[in-house]
Structure formats: C-alpha cells, structure tokens
Amino acid sequence: SAYNEGLVKYQYGSVAQVLETEAPLISFDQWKDNYYVGLQSDLRMILLKRKGNEFIKKDEFISPGRTLTHKLANSNLYVFDLDSGLTVFPNPEDLHLTNRYDKYKSVFTFDVSDKYLCGYSLSDNNLFLVEVKNGLPKRILDSLKIKTRYSFEMIFDNLLFFSSDEGLKLFDISDNTFNIMTETSELKWLIKIFKIDDYYLSLDNSGNLTKFRIINNSIKIDRTQNLGYPPKYISLEGSRLYLTYHKSNRILSIFDPYHNTNIERIDQWKTGFKILGDHPIFGVGDIDLKPVYSEYKEYYLKEDFGHLHNNYIHVLVILGVFGFAAFMYLLISVLLLDIKIYRALKGKEFAASFSLGTLGVFSAFLISGLAEWNFGDQEIITMIWFTLGLNIAFYKSLKTHEDHE
C-alpha cells in the first residue's frame, strides 16, 4: 500500500503495476485462491482478483456497521463492527452471502482458529470463547471479566495467549473453558505472536522482540531485543521476519486528508455541501441534522451525525446563505467589539489583561470552529458569552468612572 498512490505491485525490484484506490489501503491479504481483499481507511473493502501477473478490481463492499477489526481465516473473512456485531463473508465470488451475529458487539480484538473464536469486548470488559464449526461461530463456551485498556489474543492449537496493559496471560482452552496456566508482567502491549518450532516470538508496540518458551506450564523468556522503532506490520515467511516501519509526522498529519481523525470530518463536510446544494437559500432549518445526513451521506459511511463538526458549514446547511450572512455578521461584530474594548482599556490594570484574554479566547473559538461545532456546544458558548459580557462590563464601568472624573 503506497498510501494515497494506491496499491503498488513490485516485481524484481521494479514497479510492475499501480492500482488506484479511492482511499489508502490499511490492510491487504490473500483471501482464497486468486482473490485478495483490502480494507481502505474509509472502511470500504475492495476485492481484487489476480489474473496472470495482473490484479483486477472485482468489487467494492462494506460490512453493516462501523468496522473495528477483521481477519482472514478458515477461508472466511471475519469482520467485527462496533454497533452491528460480527459478519462472516464465506465466499469472495458471492459477497451478498453473509452470516450475521449481532450479539458480538464492541469487539476490538479477536483471533479465530478452526475450533475456536476468542474476542475481547472493551464495552463490558469481557473475554469470550466461542465454538467454531465449519468456519462459523456456534455457541459461547466461556467468558471472563478482565478490565484492561488494551487487549490482544492469539490462538495456537488449544492455547490462548491474552496480552493486556498488565502483562501476558496463558490459558488452556482444551476443555472449552478458560483455564489459566501462567502469566507474566514482562510481556505487555503485544501486537503479534509467532510460533516457530518449539518457541514463540512476540512483538510489542514499543518495538521489543522477545523469544520465549512454554516450559512446565510457565513462560520462560530467552531473549529480548529492541528494534529501535515500533513496526507498523510484521510477517513471518519461513525463517525470515519482515517488518515495515512508518514514521508519522504529527504536524503534517493535521493536513493529511486520509488521516483517520481527518477523513471522518471531510466526509461530513462533503455531505453538508450536498445538502446545501438542494437547500441553498434558507437551509434545512435549525434542526438535528441526523435524519437529513443519513439521506445524503455516501453508502459506505457508517455513522449518522447530528452536526457537521464545522461552525460555518453547519450554519450554511441549517440556515442557508441568508442565515450564514447574519451569522458571520454576528461573529465579526463580536470580534471587532473585543478589539475596540482592548484598545480602549490598554494600560488599565487587570481590565486590559482580561480584555486581551477575551480577544484571544474568541479568536481561538473562531479558528477551532473550522473543525468543531463549538457554537452549538453549550459549555463552550456559555463561556464565550460570559467572557464577552464581563469584558463589556469592564469597559462600561471604567468609561463611566472616567466620565465622572
């Protein structure tokens, strides 16, 4: 995945094919035979088929809800959504054929084998074990309450490794229940475990690569080595370990339209302009936008929003161009008033400092309103009007005092 350049295929060290995608791919795996599936940053999935040396886009599809995690196993694609549970896609040639399990919600991490599916739900701190037959979950075998901020599961035969912010727990699940074998606080925040011959290799999110063994129902660590960076992805092929590394720039991420914190807002603004196109003069009215938003959003957008995370676009949509003009007149008037008061109170003890602070706060409010609906946030707007009122009170009081002198 070459991010905004799409999917790039290399052969013998040279670029052999570039396949454009609507959004950056955050995962790409072989599904079955010549079929491959990729998840884009906007949560759309693309299905590719390999014909000879070329990859051809066959389809684009989504899961029913807001995708949290997915995995390919048992020739199936397992997708967990925040609000709609588990969806299993068994056949890449018929994406309409699905198996739905809405009881498994808020599952952020999971692993699945030919016998078991184990997942952790952060909403209720529940680690659960499910029987698997013919690749599909059947019945819940056991569950366990574990409170943690982080979870990671890996199943090897009848062993379950569960990593959290407190350490690694090893369970024997051969009798369909969670039987704790051992645990260690040395292996925290794991993101991957490999089984190689008679030992295991784990990687945590700080870049620590650890070789350990299971001896007499206990974990014995042989060696730990820090890679010097946290890998983005890791894969084991034979005796070779492949790791990718991406150093993100915090400043540049602000302007990245595909960054996960930006793409959602950009989609909201695009939807807002679509609504405005049909209601340009007076808008749709000062209402909760959720019902209207659900009608205009793209099919792959999973969540309905009641506001548009932007003061200016939101007001345009609800009040149209006439209402927007009045809204901008209000904001500009307040800004000019704050500037006027600061200039009048300059040199006045305390009042000048408060006036400058009010001007700074209102300016920050206007700027943050480019990515927030803070005009509609009662906690924020109450303080905006309060500081403005107090600023005016300082100005009126000192002006009256000077007039009397």
Q: For residue 287, what pLDDT band results from cuts at 50, 70 and 90? A: very high
279: confidence class by pLDDT, cuts 50, 70, 90: very high
Q: What is the pLDDT of residue 5?
A: 83
Given a cut of 90, whether residue 263 has pLDDT beyond it is: no
pLDDT band at 404 (very low <50, low <70, confident <90, very high): low
**pLDDT tens-place string over residues 151-205:** 999 999 899 999 999 999 999 999 999 999 999 999 999 999 999 989 999 999 9
Q: How confident is the model at residue 253 (pLDDT cuts 50, 70, 90)?
A: confident
The answer on pLDDT for 403 being more than 70 is no
The DSSP line for 74-103 is TTEEEEEETTTEEEEE--TT-TT--EEETT
How far is Cα of residue 46 from the mean position of the Cα atoms in its chain? 19
| pTM listed for this prediction | 0.84
Distance (Å, whole) CA 324 – CA 88: 46
The pLDDT of 28-39, averaged and rounded, is 94
Residue that is written with structure tokens 């602000």 in the block? 254
The confidence score (pLDDT) of residue 366 equals 97
For 64-113, write each residue's pLDDT tens digit. Answer: 998 999 999 999 999 999 989 999 999 999 999 999 999 998 999 999 99
User: Going along 122-239, which residue ranges are E strands?
Assistant: 126-133, 136-145, 151-156, 159-164, 168-172, 179-184, 190-196, 199-204, 208-215, 218-226, 233-237
pLDDT of 219 over the 70 cut: yes
Could you tell me which of 168, 177, 130 has the C-alpha nearest to residue 150? 168
Residue 405 has pLDDT above 70, yes or no: no
The rounded distance, in Å, linking the Cα atoms of 379 and 49 is 52
Q: What percent of the chain has pLDDT over 90?
A: 77
pLDDT range class, residue 212, cuts 50, 70, 90: very high
